[in-house]
Amino acid sequence: MICDHLSRLLALHVIFCAMRYPSIVQGARDFEKKVSMMLKEEPENPKCFAEGRKDFTCFWEEDEERAGSVDQYSFTYTYQKENSSRCPLRVLRAAGGKRLFICHLNRTQMFVQMDIRVDRDGTQIHSRSLLVELVFLLDPPANVTVSSTGQQGQLNVSWVPPPLKYMDDSMMYEVSYTTADSDVGQVEVARACSELILRGLQPGTKYKVRVRVKLDGISYSGYWSAWSDPVFMETLPAELDLLIVSLTLIISLVLTGLSLAILLSHRRFLVKKIWPTIPTPDSKFQGLFTVYGGNFQEWLGRTNGGLWLTPAFFTPEECPSPLEVLSEFSLCPSLASPPLPPKASKALTRSRKEEMDVRKGLDEREPLERVDAALTEGWRTTTHDQWLLDRLRAFHRNPMPSSQSSLLESQDAYVTLNANNRNEDEHLDDILEETLPLEVLFASRKTVLCESHSDLGSVQQSSGSGRLSSQSSFEYPNHMWMPKGPGYTYMAVADSGVSMDYSPMSRVEDIGKVVIYANEYRNEIPAHGRPFPSRQHLVSGDG
């Protein structure tokens, strides 16, 4: 029976010890930490610290070789105005070949001076005088919790202060927080409170937070406790401030609008700068690119000195100049142009034909009323006029297409003129040409250019005059050729500025064949203030 009891007691004791073992181990570990801290912080010997309202510990360390046994040492403490007392010592082996001699007291008196004396073999080795309430070394704060406050860059740290009555308001805390990757930490001090809000943290980063405690030094004082176990917490991720985002949007919209407005107001200038109109030589070389595909030789061959004519007709930038009446048509037979050399006449005829053809291609709207006006102007005849007259003769010999019957009527009038003055019939061409409405003249010229080779030889100048070229480089459009009165040269130069709208043309087939030259026809020349620079050109060409 007794054995049973004993065995049960023993079992209980073992279990109890086993349960207490972790706490004992923890306590020992804490003590070791404190000892190491005291060794660092306190220069005097023995090193003493109070852990609470009653516990008091003093120790000193000695080298293994020089230390004696415990019995050799005596620890004596004396409160002011009281008798001295002795403290039992115990030994602890420490790292580095050291021995610790420890004195522990369970009751202390505070606010009185305590004198300590350590003797070894009767000889004093250490002595110290202190006040117990000024050497506190507390345990670190427990239950450190870090939570988010709900705002950007903030964390709320709270802890449980060491359980010391009367000393709560004397405690001072240090909160250390660092980011996970940096070693340098920041420290915030809190007094007499058990929570703290950390501000100014980076959003979306993990922080390590630790707390330690110390008494503030007015009534009680001591050493900094060990750091509490670190707690990791992540701050709220960075979020876009609504105000900043909206302001940014508004400002960007305003800036975009301003830039657009500026761009639009200066678009013409900008377009000119960014996409400058590349001048093309098309205007000076009629048909070079469109008809002959850039083949200059062919173009020269076909156009018969159209080089001279085309600029005259198709220079949009040329300022209108007043019409100069250089030749006056008269029915006097005295005027006769001298015969040209064959080559020159050829060239001339070519050019003249070209011009005429361009001007021809009339449609019904017509020149009859202008004939009279043209006649009255009067042009001086030149070889050019003679060539025109010859052509007129040739034209009369050739049958006219039926579609152009309407124009025959006008021709009749010219024929009449021609009949009146045989010698001057070369002028008729000019006259007739002049009478043409300018749009039509212009249009016909266009169509002539389109009809590249098909009409070659369609009309033969079988005039016996040497002035006419037998080889008909004279290109007629299929439509009729309007006879022109002699003495009138080309007026259609002015038409270069006239609109390119070919809708007045009656013939359907011509519409498709119309050549449209880009960049050439600008309506800068008013319709009625036509210059006649071609006349001058032609004159120069004659020479």
Partner 1 sequence: MIFNVNFFSFVSVTAGLLALLLILLEWTRPGLPSPLRPICDLRVLNHFIKEARDAEVAMKSCREGCSLSESVTVPQTRVEFDVWEKKNALEQAKEVQSGLWLLQQALNLLRTSVTNTALHSHIDNSIRNLLSINAVLRSLNIQEYTPPASAAGLEGTWSVSSAADLLQVHVNFLRGKVRLLLLDAQACQQDVS
- Chain residues binding partner 1 by CB under 8 A are 53-54, 79-81, 107-113, 131, 133, 165-166, 169, 218-219
Least separation in angstroms between residue 4's CB and partner 1 is: 41
- Residues 347/325, Cβ–Cβ less than 8 Å: no
Least separation in angstroms between residue 46's CB and partner 1 is: 21
Least separation in angstroms between residue 109's CB and partner 1 is: 4
Tokens standing for residue 489: 């040269």
Residue 25 to residue 141: CA distance in whole angstroms = 19
Instruction: Kindly state the DSSP code that residue 487 receives in the 8-state scheme.
Output: B
Nearer Cβ to partner 1 (167/493): 167
Bridge partners, residue 119, by sequence: 74, 124
By the 10 Å C-beta count (0-12 exposed, 13-18 middle, 19+ buried), 499 is classed as middle
Q: How are beta strands 73-79 and 84-87 bridged, if at all?
A: antiparallel
Least separation in angstroms between residue 137's CB and partner 1 is: 18
Residue environment code for 346-358, b if the CB has 16+ CB neighbours within 10 A, otherwise e: bbbbbbbbbbbbb
Residue 198 to residue 146: CA distance in whole angstroms = 10
DSSP H helices in 330-482: 342-359, 368-377, 383-397, 405-420, 426-435, 438-450
Nearer Cβ to partner 1 (169/412): 169
Nearer Cβ to partner 1 (16/111): 111
What φ, ψ does residue 468 adopt, rounded to 5°?
-90, 145
Residue 312 to residue 284: CA distance in whole angstroms = 9
Q: How are beta strands 84-87 and 47-50 bridged, if at all?
A: unpaired
Nearer Cβ to partner 1 (137/492): 137
Nearer Cβ to partner 1 (111/269): 111
Bridge partners, residue 76, by sequence: 86, 117
Nearer Cβ to partner 1 (87/331): 87
Listing from the earlier edge strand, what are the strands of the sheet with 155-160?
A: 142-148, 155-160, 195-198
Least separation in angstroms between residue 108's CB and partner 1 is: 8
Nearer Cβ to partner 1 (112/271): 112
Nearer Cβ to partner 1 (30/216): 216
Nearer Cβ to partner 1 (45/108): 108
- Residues 237/150, Cβ–Cβ less than 8 Å: no
- Residues 75/120, Cβ–Cβ less than 8 Å: no
- Picking from 190, 55, 78, 59, the residue whose alpha carbon sits closest to that of residue 136 is 55
Least separation in angstroms between residue 194's CB and partner 1 is: 15
Q: Give yes or no for a cis peptide into 46 (omega within 30° of 0).
A: yes
Q: What letter represents residue 140's amino acid?
A: P
What φ, ψ does residue 469 adopt, rounded to 5°?
-85, 135
Least separation in angstroms between residue 90's CB and partner 1 is: 24
- Residues 306/286, Cβ–Cβ less than 8 Å: yes
Nearer Cβ to partner 1 (55/501): 55
For residue 160, the number of C-alpha atoms closer than 13 Å in the C-beta half-sphere is 6
Least separation in angstroms between residue 111's CB and partner 1 is: 3
Least separation in angstroms between residue 113's CB and partner 1 is: 8
Nearer Cβ to partner 1 (133/425): 133
Nearer Cβ to partner 1 (177/220): 220
Least separation in angstroms between residue 138's CB and partner 1 is: 16
Q: How many residues does the chain have?
A: 543
Residue 445 to residue 443: CA distance in whole angstroms = 5
Tokens standing for residue 378: 């009067």
Least separation in angstroms between residue 107's CB and partner 1 is: 7
- Residues 394/460, Cβ–Cβ less than 8 Å: yes
- Residues 176/186, Cβ–Cβ less than 8 Å: yes
Nearer Cβ to partner 1 (92/131): 131
Least separation in angstroms between residue 55's CB and partner 1 is: 11
Least separation in angstroms between residue 130's CB and partner 1 is: 13
